[in-house]
Amino acid sequence: MSIKRIILGDDDREMCEEVSEALEDSGYTVRCVHCGEDVIEKVKKEKLSIVLMDLKMPGIGGYEAFKRIKKINPKIPIIFVTGSLPSDVEKQLKKVRFTRILYKPFDIEKLIKEIDKVSKEGNTHE
Amino acid sequence: MKQKQILIVEDERLIADDIKLSIKNLGHAVCGMASSGEKAIKIAEEKHPDLVLMDIVLKGQMDGTETAAIIRNRFHIPILYLTAYADDKTLERAKITEPFGYIVKPFENRELNSMIEIALYKHKIEKRLKESEEWLSTTLKSIGDAVIATDTESCVIFMNPAAQTLTGWMQEEAKGRTLREVFNIINENTGEPEDDPTSRVLHKGKAIRLADHTILIARDGTKHHIDDSCAPIKHEKGDIAGVVLIFRDITERKMLQRELMQAEKMATIGTMAASVAHELRNPLGVIKTATYNLERNLEKKDEKMERRIFNINKKIGEADKIITDLLNYSRLGKPTLAKIDINKLIEEVESRVKTEFPDTDIKTVKKLGSIPEIKVDQVQIGEVFYNIIKNAYEAIDEMGELTLSTKHIKSKNRVDIMITDTGCGISKENIEKLDQPFFSTKAKGTGLGLSLSFRIIKENHNGTIEVKSEAGKSTKFLIKLPALII
């Protein structure tokens, strides 16, 4: 498996720590940021394979960041890892390509499966 | 003054002619002359005179007073008696017919004139009074609010139709009875009888309102929430003639208020639940991932340690279930309707629940009828079946019987689903609380499952759930769903 570069946006530091620990052990490179603006910065500057982020973050938050990222690079896969979503937002997101939602608490195995699936989708469209 | 038509009833021709002349001289017209009672009635009927001059003593079958009574009652024409005998007995007899005056023969023209004027005037006033009374009484009867009037002894003297309907007492039966008997009110909160409001009004001399939580118990025992005001009936001079009570049935309004309060409570819970759920899932997520990392890095297979990790994961799952239930409850989504085979769905759910209770010996009896596919939200109805069947399994506790039956009620275009268990049953007071969120008798229950089920059936599928239970014996859930064809 090729090394995949992941950006993880979550303002919960322990969350970032545990998830990157688990993912890095599985062969991913994880960069952690803690607000929506920083997620956008990383997407602009670095070559990333996938974005994982929470919906609720300081600053512009996950949803706004999602919209801006889609404008910069519509093909970058995004997985929301979040506690809950308002049902209208959930409906909206489910319609968008290369986008997934995973509710906390989640299985790391399940997250890895989702990452693989959504990356393949993105890559076949590249 | 307009010329009046007058009927003269006098059996002595000479006197009659004399009176006729006098009347003409006074400027009125004589529309007929009768020498007997029978004839007088006939003319009165044909010509409708404005006034009848009636001799008390008449020859023939009927005398003057009898004739006068008939003319008064049938045609409402004022009568003025003419008499030569002013003795008490004659006058007494005449009085019964409500005469408008007496003239003693022989009389002067001037005297006759003033008596005619007075009689006509009195008649006009009486007519007006009667019309006004009728108008008032019709108005009172037409009022949508209930009205009861009492005298100063708090005895009923009037009830309008709305009051009769609400109390269950007809005016004729209630008249003369004390208000307390007819207007039986209790306090909603204490169940204690309320004081008779009229005595307070009579005592204070001013209007009062009843407390907001007054319940009227009708004659047949039915209860109505009422809103009531009570005021003294005062004469112009200010003395009190009685009390008038005005009240209306506010049962429906109370129910709506209660529903509204429940909806507001739900909305608050919803907002709170959504934010709490979100906040709790974060730390739970960290615990779960941290546990995963811990497990992976265990140096050697350690059974004891694995058991600890298993327990942590199990509890994370349980905590997550509570949060999910709360979220689902607070934002019960609109149903996505699709044609579903209810029999198949309930069987699937039952076998799913069965796997969760491997150590029990529960026999499932299926009486699934031939029912049409109906339009429901499969996930939501599945959730309802799951909650009820799981409760049944928990209620049975080891050994017993679960019966699932379905039936198509063609006449009502409805599908009935019955889930019966031979478990511990539910007490009467708890049955009423089943649809309330957070009500649970189970140690682990959140009290959201059944409450959510009730909402799914009622709010999203226009159906009903009935629960019947015999404590210690059995519980029956009956779900009625409309069979939507469209």
User: Of the spans A1-5, B62-66, B226-230, B283-287, which averages the highest pLDDT?
Assistant: B283-287
Partner-chain residue, chosen from B279, B290, B331, that has the shortest CB–CB distance to A83: B279
Cis peptide before B78 (omega within 30 of 0): no
* pLDDT value for B447: 80
C-alpha torsion sign, points B58, B59, B60, B61: positive
Q: Is A13 a member of any domain?
A: yes
B114 with B101: CB under 8 angstroms? no
Residue A125 maps to a domain: no
Please, are residues B408 and B466 in contact by the beta-carbon 8 Å criterion? no
Domains in chain B, start-ordered, CATH in brackets?
5-139 (3.40.50.2300), 144-249 (3.30.450.20), 255-330 (1.10.287), 338-482 (3.30.565.10)
Is position A64 within any domain? Answer: yes
Cβ pair B287:A21 closer than 8 A: no
| Cβ-proximal residues to B48 (8 Å cutoff; 6+ apart), any chain | B5, B75, B77
Contacts of B361 (CB under 8 A, 6+ apart): B398, B399
Find the mean pLDDT for residues B5-13: 91
Nearest to B286 among A15, A84, A87 (CB): A15
Mind telling me how many Å the CA of B277 is from chain A's nearest CA?
7
The pairing of beta strand B5-9 with beta strand B51-55: parallel
What tokens does A114 get?
A: 């989702």
Q: What is the pLDDT at residue B385?
A: 95
Please answer yes or no on whether B287 and A105 come within 8 Å at the CB atom: yes
> Tens digit of pLDDT for each residue in B428-468?
888 888 887 777 777 667 788 888 899 899 989 999 999 99
Using pLDDT thresholds of 50, 70 and 90, give the confidence band for residue B1: low
Token pair in block for residue B284: 């739970």
pLDDT of B96 > 90? The answer is no
CA B331 to chain A, closest CA, distance in angstroms equals 8
pLDDT at B34 over 50: yes
| Contact at CB, B289 and A105, closer than 8 angstroms | yes
DSSP bridge partners of B369: none
Mean pLDDT of B216-230: 91
Question: Is residue A124 over pLDDT 60?
Answer: no
CB of B331 less than 8 A from some CB of A: yes
Nearest C-alpha of chain A: how many angstroms from B279?
Answer: 7
Look at phi and psi of residue B177 and say left if phi exceeds 0, alpha if psi is from -120 to 50, else beta. Answer: beta
Give the pLDDT score at A1: 47
pLDDT per position as a tens digit, B238-257: 888 899 999 999 988 888 88
Closest CA to B390 of B323, B478, B474, B449: B449
Q: Pick the residue from chain B with its C-alpha nearest to A55.
A: B278
- Determine the residue among B271, B272, B289, B332 to mutate to test chain A binding: the one whose Cβ has the most chain A Cβ atoms within 10 Å: B289
Q: Find which of A93-97, B211-215, B283-287 is predicted with most confidence, using mean pLDDT.
A: B283-287
**Which whole number is the average pLDDT over A24-41?**
92
Partners of residue B40 on adjacent β-strands: none
**Mean pLDDT for all residues in chain B:** 87
* Beta pairing class for B184-187 and B214-217: antiparallel
Distance CA B298, CA B390 (A): 37
pLDDT at B348: 95
**ipTM confidence score:** 0.87
Is it the case that residue B331 has pLDDT exceeding 80?
no
Give Cβ neighbours of residue B16 (< 8 Å, ≥ 6 apart). B8, B10, B33, B35
Q: Is residue A32 part of a domain?
A: yes
Q: Which residue has the higher pLDDT, B211 or B30?
A: B30
Minimal CA–CA distance to A50: which of A24, A36, A29? A29
CB contact under 8 A, B292 and A104: no
Structural domain contains residue A49: yes
- Give, in order, the Cα–Cα distances in Å from B470 to each of B51, B288, B424: 80, 43, 8
Point out the residue among B285, B292, B327 whose CB comes nearest to the CB of A104.
Answer: B285
Mutation for testing the A interface, residue in B275, B276, B279, B286 having most A CBs under 10 Å: B286
Q: Which residue of A has its CA nearest to B271?
A: A86
Residues 270-309 in B contacting A (C-alpha not used; CB under 8 Å)? 274, 277-290, 292-293, 296
pLDDT-based confidence at residue A122 (cuts at 50, 70, 90): low
Q: Residue B447: which of B456, B455, B436 has the closest Cα?
A: B436
Is residue A126 assigned to a domain? Answer: no
Whether the CB of B381 is below 8 Å from some CB of chain A: the reply is no
What is the number of alpha carbons within 13 Å of residue A34 lying toward its C-beta?
A: 7
pLDDT value of residue A4: 83
Residue-wise pLDDT for B116-136, tens only, equals 888 889 888 988 998 998 898
Task: Decide which of B331 and A91 is more confident.
Answer: A91
Q: What is the DSSP letter of B270?
A: H
pLDDT: which is higher, A1 or B69: B69
> What DSSP state is assigned to residue A115?
H
Q: Identify whether A88 is part of a domain.
A: yes
pLDDT of residue A126: 44
Above 90 in pLDDT, residue B367?
yes
What Å distances lie between residue B26 and B10, B48, B124, B190, B245, CA to CA?
19, 20, 20, 75, 52
- Here the CATH number for the domain that contains residue A52 is 3.40.50.2300
Output the CA torsion B3→B8→B12→B13 (10° steps).
Answer: 50
The 8-class DSSP code of residue B472 comes to T
Number of structural domains chain A divides into: 1
Instruction: Give residue B432's pLDDT.
Output: 80
**Which pLDDT band, with edges at 50, 70 and 90, does B196 fall under?**
confident
* Closest residue on chain A to B327 (Cα): A84
A64 near B CB under 8 A: no
Say if residues B274 and B327 touch (Cβ distance below 8 Å): yes
Q: What is the mean pLDDT of residues B210-214?
A: 80
How many CB pairs lie under 8 A apart between chains A and B? 63
Closest residue of chain A to B275, computed from CA coordinates: A84
The residue in chain B having the minimum alpha-carbon distance to the alpha carbon of residue A22 is B293
Measured CA to CA, the distance from residue B259 to residue B255 in angstroms comes to 6
Helices (H), B107-232: 109-142, 161-167, 171-174, 179-182, 197-204
- Facing residue for B281 by CB, picked from A14, A21, A83: A83
Structure token pair of residue B68: 């006068």
Q: Does A81 touch chain B (CB under 8 A)?
A: yes
What are the chain B neighbours of A105 within 8 Å (beta carbons)? 281, 284-285, 287-289, 316, 320
**Residue A81: domain span:** 4-119
Residue A124 in domain: no
Q: Verify whether the Cβ–Cβ distance B293 to A18 is below 8 Å.
A: yes
Do strands B156-159 and B146-150 pair parallel, antiparallel, or not at all (unpaired)?
A: antiparallel
pLDDT of residue A125: 46
Smallest CA–CA distance, residue A31 to chain B, in Å, is: 17
